[in-house]
Amino acid sequence: MKYIAEQNGTILEALQYMAPGSSKTTLRSWLKEGRIALDGRTVKHPSAPIASGQLLTLGAKIRSSQLDILYQDRHLVAIDKPKGLLSVATHYQKQKTAHSLLKEQHKPLAVYPVHRLDRETSGVMIFALTEEARDGLKILFEQHDITRQYEAIVEGHLPTDQGQWTSHLFEDKNYHVHSTLDPKQGKRAVTHFDVIEKMAHTSRICLTLETGRKNQIRVHCQQAGHPVLGDKKYGPGQIPCKRLCLHATLLELKHPITGKRLSLRSPAPF
């Protein structure tokens, strides 16, 4: 639910305009739960000011119990992140995140993020619970000594059933990632793809990251002329879809502490 303020006032007053059928008790509970964002930043005080033209949004109700734990020991925890949930807080967005929910669930222990998934991307995501594990995982990610596979539905049919996309990616001041062949302009990005199934107007593909740059898969699919279904940022495509059809299906790695081989999987929900 979204609402653009038509006049100056308080957050509570604006919420009454946004949801006239809800009681003040309900509106205050939304604030307390951290579900209300003002221009992307979480706000919890009903008397906080809001100016005309500012955007007020109501986020989904997400509780720690809704995080599906795929694996956990004293060093690591892996989850099946739902779509629409931020991985970690950003400078501009302080709403509920997978990181904050895990911190609530594991109090008083620390929880360390070591990688991210885009907000609308779902699937396997891992966090460290000790500094030793955090440092070990960072090395694995930096050295690309980890298998990261995704499944996506893209528009059209790829010219080959297997291949790879290689380019250099850079982010502009508006946080939009671009692809270039000039190594001086960006960081090298390599994505391997395999076609799983061809439908009438779309293809289901498996994508394996050789590098893990921001928005890498979405940008490479767009550049290849086969945008991911539901990608509003790097589309827009011709086929409507209610969600971004991109899911992290596999994270395979050597446990940074025990040396045990972990294969963390989540089937695509689309």
Residues that are catalytic? 118
Distance CA 132, CA 61 (A): 33
Go through 89-124 and write b for each residue having 16 or more CB atoms within 10 A of its CB, e for each that does not: beeeebbbbbbbbbbeeeeeeebbbbbbbbbbbbbb
Please state, in angstroms and rounded to a whole number, the distance separating the CA atoms of residues 203 and 193. Answer: 11
Amino acid, res. 109: L
CA distance 116 to 125: 7
The CA-CA-CA angle for residues 250, 254, 259, to 5°, reads 150
CB-based contact 123:266 (threshold 8 Å):
yes
Collapse the DSSP code of 6 into the 3-class scheme (helix H, G, I; strand E, B; otherwise coil) and give the result: coil
| Helix ranges, 120-215 (H) | 131-142
Residue pointed to by tokens 């991210």: 116
Q: State the CB neighbour count (10 A cutoff) for residue 144.
A: 13
Assigned token pair, 14: 């604006």
Nearest to 116 by CA among 86, 93, 136, 140: 86
Residue 248 contacts residue 238 (beta carbons within 8 Å): no
| Separation of first and last alpha carbons in the chain | 24
